[in-house]
Amino acid sequence: MVKSLPVYADEKLLAHLTNISCVEGGVTSGLIVGQRTPKKDIVVHLTVTPVPEENGRPIKTEVTNGKPLELRCVSEILELDDTWFTFHTENVSRMLPGGMWILGLYFSSPENIFNNEKTLNKVRSIMSFINKSTARNECLFGDPPGNYKLVFHYNSKSKQFACKSIDSSMAFANADWKFQNSQFVWHKVESSYSLNRFEPYEIVDETPKPVIVYLKDKLQKIRKEIDATICTVNGVFRKNTDTLQDIKMLTDQQRKTKEKDDSFKVFMYSLTEPPEDMASKVVVQMTYGEMVFDGIIGSQVFLHENATVDETVLAVKQDILRSLASRLEMHWDSFDLTDENNKVHEPPRRILFKDKRSGLTFSDYIYKNETINDIASNLQLHLGILVPISDLIDCFERPYTGKLKPKMDTGEQKANHLGTDKKSDNTNLILYGIMGAAVVLVISLFLHLFT
């Protein structure tokens, strides 16, 4: 049995729990969002898992930003469908910055779920279903430190609450959950990562596989490269045990102007092998296509008050990988190697928004044919946050406005700079991004097929 850390949540979430609870005796449930530190779990948000209209009844909630949240509850916990939670987990995970995780599940009902074996088994079933679903894409979902998740219950009748941890064996243990009336202190960290350092991904299968296979393989290669990068914080190599708070104090003392920049900058560097004599290592290989990743991914994460450099770097790397994995998973169904027409595929770009309750910034992704209004509706559905259109940061990434790259030579073999002869017979798949004027990334995907 795994011993859990103390859990701390903002006192404002108590009012939020009351607002989203079903006063007529139903069950409201959802996901616990937060950050796991070496000494405690910090809960920043409780988001309601959507219930289909035909399966639940509406909840009367207070008006926020001019209108109430549109939520539904069920009559009892056994009516909850496991798949609702896996779908919700996938969508919420995409919206979280690196370092933030889905820490577990919460339930609001008039009866204590921990006193009934049937309800406990239902919780185990939901958690097991989520674990199996998220294990398929570690780049997107990952796993927070510690081999356990939280299960929190709020009694909508007595206003009492209780929390337990649940480990991988589905065993429960008591957990200490406290609400505090002071806001958490967060450090904002910004970074970016260039994808144009990677060599083209060569497609060597004479009979091409589904593009999703190549994308997943390429994503794993990028993941290894990101894991291997070394980083500086504010331009200086730091000890892993240095804290952001100490770095901030030192930076403020050294700054010549009175202007203060409360954000930290992390710069990432890849270690490269020294050049070798390629003449003796020329390899002739038939290829049937290329997949090229290019562009710059921007990152903005938030770390707790006592975060170390090691935690900071890990959060930035998680954020970059999560952002790339999110876009590919949302878009790879549209790839088709059998299409004989030139097409421009544009995976969604990142939109930021600030949650006024926690003070943190989350993100969502917008397709070319979508509007900011669509994003606002999505945020209400999956995070339960009503965000005014004016508060959505649409300039974090710019839409792609370039042109399709010229055709590659398909008639003659030619050696590239690595000393390997290549021939493109059928397909050339290019994942291409450009840097916007304000910040960081647009990923555009071109699928061009040579006939």
CATH of domain 7-180: 3.40.140.10
CA-to-CA distance for 265 and 19, rounded, in angstroms?
A: 38
Kindly report which listed range (75-89, 160-174, 209-223) carries the lowest average pLDDT score: 209-223
Rounded Cα distance, 307 and 241, in Å: 9
pLDDT at 52: 92
pLDDT digits (tens, 9 = 90+) for 334-353: 665 445 444 556 778 888 88
User: pLDDT: is 394 or 297 the higher one?
Assistant: 297
Helix (H) or strand (E) holding 267: strand 263-269
pLDDT confidence band for 408 (50 / 70 / 90): very low
| Higher pLDDT pick, 123 / 62 | 123
Residue 59: exposed, middle, or buried by beta-carbon count in 10 A (0-12, 13-18, 19+)? buried
% of residues, the chain, pLDDT over 90 = 45
CA dist 173 and 255 (Å) reads 49
Mean pLDDT (the chain) is 81
Interval 150-168: pLDDT, tens: 999 999 999 999 999 999 8
Per residue in 104-134, pLDDT (tens digit) is 999 999 999 999 999 999 999 999 999 998 8
- At 399 the pLDDT is 64
Predicted pLDDT of residue 240: 96
Query: Per-residue confidence at 205, pLDDT binned at 50, 70, 90?
Result: confident
pLDDT for residue 67: 63
Give the lowest-confidence range in 16-20, 258-262, 324-328, 333-337: 333-337
Choice among 113-127, 305-319, 391-405 with the minimum mean pLDDT: 391-405
Q: Taking Cα atoms as reference points, which of 10, 21, 28 lies closest to residue 157?
A: 21
Query: How crowded is residue 356: how many other Cβ atoms within 10 Å of its Cβ?
Result: 14
What mean pLDDT is predicted for residues 21-46?
Answer: 93
Residues of CATH 3.40.140.10 domain(s) within the chain?
Answer: 7-180
Please state at what angle helix 244-254 crosses helix 309-331, rounded to 10 degrees: 110
Pairing mode of beta strands 148-155, 101-109: parallel
pLDDT at position 154: 97
pLDDT of residue 166: 96
Residues 236-295 have pLDDT tens digits of: 999 999 999 999 988 777 766 656 667 899 999 987 666 566 566 677 777 777 777 777
The structure tokens 């969604």 sit at 348
pLDDT of 342 reads: 40
431 beta partners: 293, 445
CB 422, CB 444: distance < 8 Å: no
Residues 326 and 354: their CA atoms lie apart, in Å, by 20
pLDDT at 445 over 50: no
Q: What radius of gyration, in Å, describes the C-alpha atoms of the chain?
A: 24
Average pLDDT over every residue of 393-404:
62
- Cβ atoms within 10 Å of 394's Cβ, excluding its own: 17
Closest CA to 16 of 112, 156, 183, 164: 156
pTM of the model: 0.85
pLDDT on residue 204:
81
Q: What is the pLDDT of residue 434?
A: 30
Cα separation, 386 vs 68, whole angstroms = 9
| More confident position, 338 or 91 | 91
Would the pLDDT of 175 be above 80? yes
Confidence category of residue 36, pLDDT binned at 50, 70, 90: very high
For residue range 382-394, list pLDDT tens digits in order.
998 888 887 787 6
Residue 42: which pLDDT band, with cuts at 50, 70 and 90? very high
More confident residue, 232 or 23: 232
Res. 423 pLDDT band, cuts 50 70 90: very low
- Contacting residues for 340 by C-beta, under 8 A, at least 6 apart: 449, 451
